[in-house]
Chains A and B, each alone.
Chain A
Amino acid sequence: MYTYDKNQLQSKLADYIGARVPADAWQWLQEKATLVTKDSKQFHIAFAAASRKLGKQAVVLTAEEQTGLQQIRKQLTVTGWAIDRLCRVWLLLQLNSEDEDNYVQTIERLFPAAEMNELVALYSALPLLAYPQRWRARCAEGIRNNIADVLEAIMCDNPYPSEQLDEAAWNQLVLKAIFTEKPLQKVIGLIERSNETLANSLTDYAHERWAAHRKVLPLLWQCVGRFINAHNFADIQRIALSTDAREREAAALACQQSTYAPAQELLKTNTLLQQLVNRGITWQEIAEKLQRNS
């Protein structure tokens, strides 16, 4: 039912939490942890009250601790979380998952009455819950949320969406991440999950913005590169000749991703683009430059 060693993660997180919260708060949390397996009402109260008891200081892990987590659950990141978020996720790990329907229901009941920070914790927990396929609809629903922190919990540093969402829901996630200006480099699986439908939507979106005299996020083209074709090649030519250095860099990388002959030809003939690629430009580098200049 779990895709990773749940017990090992549970005890590792317990070590991390125990070392970071006051003794009385840790005791409260442990008491609640033993109760939640028996009584779903206790679970709901503990989940809501976590912030009152544990506070909100940011969790900072050492590099070693962070690697330790990722050895158990790949791509799991908890650094920068508020401590109550981590504790809420840990509480979710205490639930008895043997009865699938009962387990899913207990967690589903939290969503409709959750406040902002509870929603953040719930969506952060998706990659750690049992029966991963059971949370696909919930995750897709979460992408329709409009609260920045909630969206970020789903979209950024969260391995669940790319592992589980179907193509339509995944494409919504990417479009909405761009639309709401989330840091795209933190979307796990962005290039791997890109597809032709998404590439078409993104080029349409770029046309809309150009028509409105608005700028287009250069990072968007990393989802298009593998799907450059006769239909959208003109867009790549356009950004290759852009006065904006970030757009030219994006054009170089998109062409590099592409197997479309004219795109490869463009890279060969445009010395500027070629220099960029030879120098080893990356999407990450473009993202950092954008961040610095924003």
Chain B
Amino acid sequence: MCCNDDLTERDLEPRVEIPLYLENIKGMKFFDPHVHMTSRTTDDYQAMADAGVVALIEPAFWLGQPRTGVATFQDYYSSLIGWERFRSSQFGIKHYCTIGLNSREANNVALAEQVMEILPLFIYKEGVVGVGEIGFDDQTPAEERFYREQLLLAKEASLPVQIHTPHRDKKKGTQRSMDIAIDCGLAPGMVIVDHNNEETVEEVLDRGFWAAFTIYPFTKMGNERMVEVVKKYGAERIMINSAADWGISDPLAVPKTAALMKQHGISDEMIQLVTYKNAITAFAQSGQLNESDFNTVQPIDQSQKFQGNTILRGGQQPRVNKDSLIIK
């Protein structure tokens, strides 16, 4: 350990100064089933780990501008199962992903056809817990075609599906997404319908699908509204995520919402279902997600350090004090 010899136990421990809301949820564990870490910084990873996020799912999506070749899709999928997974592990967070062709880029039919050819190479990989995020954006015929083809792929591989519901014409788009999933022979229990709101949730739950809510400032759900949804509909088959990406979003949306629910008197058991357990139950149907991969606490102590420094801690990132003027 030549380069880290100034590193002490203290440097690896979470920082002591924590924002007030974290006090409320101390000791709770969170699972963020939709977050695009590729677009986030190491500060975010550290903050998530400090707030209790132990595992996450990164769905494949678009990168803010359209890709022009199949090779960049391949590299992107590879990075989700390779580099990003490793980066996450350096902060003690277990990283899973879902793989799919997003709805926007489904509209480039010639390219989408090539992407469909490489998808089977990726969906059988270790730690791929579903096909996603797929579904509708503009609700064009091309989007429908590739949505259907991917539903069949998921069915063949016995994988759950993570559905992105459109921003525009949301209610109809959500209904249509569910209709097509049923039409393709998927069981509603294998489908996670994402980005719900007060207008869509009831039908999604009534039809037996999982209802995911994205806590995302300005454009999707705010967490005060989320508290009301849980009060009204309970915790069964409901989960929340941050969908944090390259836009103004909050990778701490899940723990913050847990804190707010707690403040509003929602029971710990319900909070745990909505912020941790339900997502695990839904995506564990892939056979690729095992709670024991991340729920065993690894206490930081001398004996552990002594025995297995390189194995247990070798990849871990040292802490830096961000308030310090000096950078060493």
For A116, the chain B residues whose CB sits under 8 A away are: 81-82, 85-86
Q: Main SS of chain A's interface residues? A: helix
Question: Contacting A113 at CB < 8 Å: which of B74, B85, B314?
Answer: B74
In whole angstroms, what is the CA distance A217 to B78 when docked?
Answer: 34
In whole angstroms, what is the CA distance A113 to B78 when docked?
Answer: 6
A residues 212-248 touching B (CB-CB < 8 Å): 214-217, 220
A271 CB–B CB distance under 8 Å: no
Structural contact, A113 and B309, CB atoms closer than 8 A = no
A147 CB–B CB distance under 8 Å: yes
For A291, the chain B residues whose CB sits under 8 A away are: 309-310
For A261, the chain B residues whose CB sits under 8 A away are: none
Structural contact, A294 and B127, CB atoms closer than 8 A = no
Structural contact, B315 and A216, CB atoms closer than 8 A = no
Q: Give the total of A residues in contact with B, Cβ under 8 Å.
A: 30
Structural contact, A147 and B5, CB atoms closer than 8 A = no
Nearest CB on B from A214, distance (A): 7
In whole angstroms, what is the CA distance A183 to B81 when docked?
Answer: 26
Structural contact, B127 and A115, CB atoms closer than 8 A = yes
A residues 85-123 touching B (CB-CB < 8 Å): 112-119
Residue interface mask B74-90, A partner, CB < 8 A = 1: 10011001110110000
Structural contact, B2 and A217, CB atoms closer than 8 A = yes
B122 CB–A CB distance under 8 Å: yes
A281 CB–B CB distance under 8 Å: no
For B314, the chain A residues whose CB sits under 8 A away are: 148, 181
For A115, the chain B residues whose CB sits under 8 A away are: 78, 81-82, 85, 125-127
- Determine the residue in chain A with the shortest Cβ distance to B125: A115
For A178, the chain B residues whose CB sits under 8 A away are: 2
In whole angstroms, what is the CA distance A271 to B309 when docked?
Answer: 34
For B310, the chain A residues whose CB sits under 8 A away are: 183, 291
A residues 110-138 touching B (CB-CB < 8 Å): 112-119
For A183, the chain B residues whose CB sits under 8 A away are: 310
B4 CB–A CB distance under 8 Å: yes
Nearest CB on A from B77, distance (A): 8
Q: Given A48-B124, A115-B85, A115-B126, do A214 and B3 touch, yes or no (CB 8 Å)?
A: yes
In whole angstroms, what is the CA distance A37 to B122 when docked?
Answer: 22
For B125, the chain A residues whose CB sits under 8 A away are: 48, 115, 118
A74 CB–B CB distance under 8 Å: no
- Determine the residue in chain B with the shortest Cβ distance to A109: B121
For B306, the chain A residues whose CB sits under 8 A away are: 292
Residue interface mask A260-294, B partner, CB < 8 A = 1: 00000000000000000000000000000011101
Residue interface mask B125-139, A partner, CB < 8 A = 1: 111000000000000
Nearest CB on B from A7, distance (A): 30
- Measured CB to CB, the residues of A under 8 A from B are 44-45, 48-49, 51-52, 112-119, 146-149, 178, 181, 183, 214-217, 220, 290-292, 294
What would 17 more interface pairs be, CB under 8 Å, given A113-B122, A116-B82, A116-B85? A48-B121, A48-B125, A49-B124, A52-B124, A113-B121, A115-B78, A115-B82, A115-B85, A115-B126, A115-B127, A149-B86, A181-B4, A214-B3, A217-B2, A220-B2, A291-B309, A294-B5
